[in-house]
Amino acid sequence: MTGEKARTPEDRQRQITDVVLERGSISAQELSETFGVSVMTIHRDLDELARRGVVRKFRGGVTALPSGVFESNVAYRRKAMQGEKDAIAKRAASHVEPGMSIMLDDATTTSAMIPHLAGITPLRVATNYLDGMRRLSAMPSISLMALGGDYDPLHDSFLGVSCVECIESIRVDAVFVSTSALSGSFAYHQEDRIVTVKRTMLDVAAKRYLLMDHTKLGKVALHRLVPLAEFDLVIVDAGTPSEVINDMARNDVRFEVAT
């Protein structure tokens, strides 16, 4: 699992990151035994990784999983629910037509739309997600607009006042966003700075789409994002529980199930 024995603290921290991202959560004692170093040394490594936002410490261990207050590192989110995200993204891309201008947020679910956009031309895409920018820039059929700001490594995206002002300066035909939690008639997110950027994106779009895999449904996070009624369409995957489907129907939320 860990490959060659770590020769430096930096090597060990990279390997610890790989283990935590693969397992989701693990105890400091298990890491100590895996890497052949003291628990105290492991805690120093975990303190550094937590400081960089890679993982989150809890009593006796470490996790990459989200909570109501913390979002997962982007490296963990890229690995999670890939099949479901691709199904949702493919359905979302069916709502994109040649000649449109669209915006994608920094969510890994919306970035899964990128391969499905290649044949829809002409198309202009704006995003604040750095990995998305790299992938879109390699597609000659796509006209890319980068939404700049302060780079945040936890999300691999640009945020802050400069990003908000950049978004406010344009208008798009449609925006596709995802978020961390959906419950009742509201979408939620853990971080206020992310909420600010997503709300601004929704403000500048003629049509608004919310993309959510079923692991995020029936959950809440610290901040309310917006009411679901503000979205023209919510797209979920086939694993969505029937009670969530029924709840959206009762609240007159327009939705599609991607299969």
65, 86, 113: which is the final residue of a domain? 65
What pLDDT is recorded for position 59? 81
Regarding whether 216 and 119 lie in a shared domain, the answer is yes
- We report the CATH number of the domain holding residue 30 as 1.10.10.10
Which residue type, as a one-letter code, is found at position 100? Answer: M
Regarding whether 94 and 191 lie in a shared domain, the answer is yes
44, 65, 86: which is the final residue of a domain? 65
Domain count, the chain: 2
Regarding whether 221 and 97 lie in a shared domain, the answer is yes
What pLDDT is recorded for position 134? 97
Model confidence, pTM: 0.79
Choice among 57-61, 106-110, 140-144, 218-222 with the minimum mean pLDDT: 57-61
Regarding whether 171 and 53 lie in a shared domain, the answer is no
Whether residue 41 is predicted with pLDDT greater than 60 in this model: the reply is yes
What pLDDT is recorded for position 3? 47
Distance in angstroms (rounded) separating the CA atoms of residues 182 and 187: 4
Q: Is the peptide bond before 115 cis (omega within 30 degrees of 0)?
A: no
Whether residue 82 is predicted with pLDDT greater than 50 in this model: the reply is yes
Q: What angle do CA 88, 25, 192 make, to 5 degrees?
A: 60
At 72, is the pLDDT very low, low, confident or very high (cuts 50, 70, 90)? low
132 part of a folded domain: yes
Regarding whether 153 and 58 lie in a shared domain, the answer is no
Regarding whether 180 and 107 lie in a shared domain, the answer is yes
Regarding whether 91 and 195 lie in a shared domain, the answer is yes
1 part of a folded domain: no
Sheet holding 186-189, edge to edge: 181-183, 186-189, 223-227
Find tokens 């950027």 and name the residue: 197
Q: What is the 3-state secondary structure (H, E, C) of 40-97?
A: HHHHHHHHHHHHCCCCEEECCEEECCCCCCCCCCHHHHHHCCHHHHHHHHHHHHCCCC
Mean pLDDT of 160-170: 97
Highest mean pLDDT among 13-27, 35-49, 223-237: 223-237
pLDDT digits (tens, 9 = 90+) for 100-125: 999 999 999 999 999 999 989 999 99
Q: Which residues span the domain enclosing 171?
A: 76-258
What pLDDT is recorded for position 65? 65
Regarding whether 56 and 80 lie in a shared domain, the answer is no
- We report the CATH number of the domain holding residue 85 as 3.40.50.1360
The CA distances from residue 37 to 5, 55, 132, 185, 250, in Å, are 11, 19, 38, 49, 55
Regarding whether 176 and 157 lie in a shared domain, the answer is yes
Regarding whether 241 and 119 lie in a shared domain, the answer is yes
Find tokens 């006042």 and name the residue: 161
Regarding whether 197 and 127 lie in a shared domain, the answer is yes
Whether residue 234 is predicted with pLDDT greater than 50 in this model: the reply is yes
